[in-house]
């Protein structure tokens, strides 16, 4: 990660844009305070390029594409609890005072 002041950035903009295109993040400062950053563009997988909303979301970072598209979901984890029969018996017991 590189830090550069506004004046230097203005004079050597092409160099810092090439660095960002190569994958480096450039932090821009104004009077010693970071005010912006220049980052490389997020690559959109080919399967999402024709979909404008998904492509934009991936580029902007608010959508993360699946790591294993088309794969099967992981098996469900068992949750400790009551069986259906135990639950129904507990429910009947709870409702006894209403009859």
Task: Return the pLDDT at 99.
Answer: 62
Q: What is the pLDDT of residues 50-92, one digit of tens each?
A: 888 988 898 888 998 887 777 788 888 887 888 899 999 999 9
Cα-based torsion angle of the residue sequence 51, 40, 34, 9 in order, rounded to the nearest 10 degrees: -120
Q: Is the pLDDT of residue 5 over 80?
A: yes
Specify the pLDDT at position 70. Answer: 77
Instruction: Identify the pLDDT of residue 18.
Output: 94
> What is the architecture, at CATH level 2, of domain 2-60?
3-Layer(aba) Sandwich (3.40)
Domain-wise residue ranges, the chain = 2-60
pLDDT digits (tens, 9 = 90+) for 34-45: 999 999 888 888
The confidence score (pLDDT) of residue 33 equals: 95
Number of other residues whose CB lies within 10 A of the CB of residue 29: 15
């Amino acid at each position: 990660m590189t830090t550069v002041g506004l004046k230097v950035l203005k004079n050597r903009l092409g160099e810092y844009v090439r660095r960002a295109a190569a994958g480096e993040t450039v932090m821009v400062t104004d009077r010693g305070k970071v005010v912006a950053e220049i980052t490389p563009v997020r690559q959109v997988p080919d399967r999402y390029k024709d979909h404008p909303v998904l492509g934009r979301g991936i580029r902007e970072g608010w959508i993360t594409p699946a790591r294993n598209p088309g794969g099967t979901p992981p098996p469900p984890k068992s949750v400790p609890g009551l069986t259906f029969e135990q639950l129904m018996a507990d429910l009947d017991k709870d409702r006894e005072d209403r009859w």
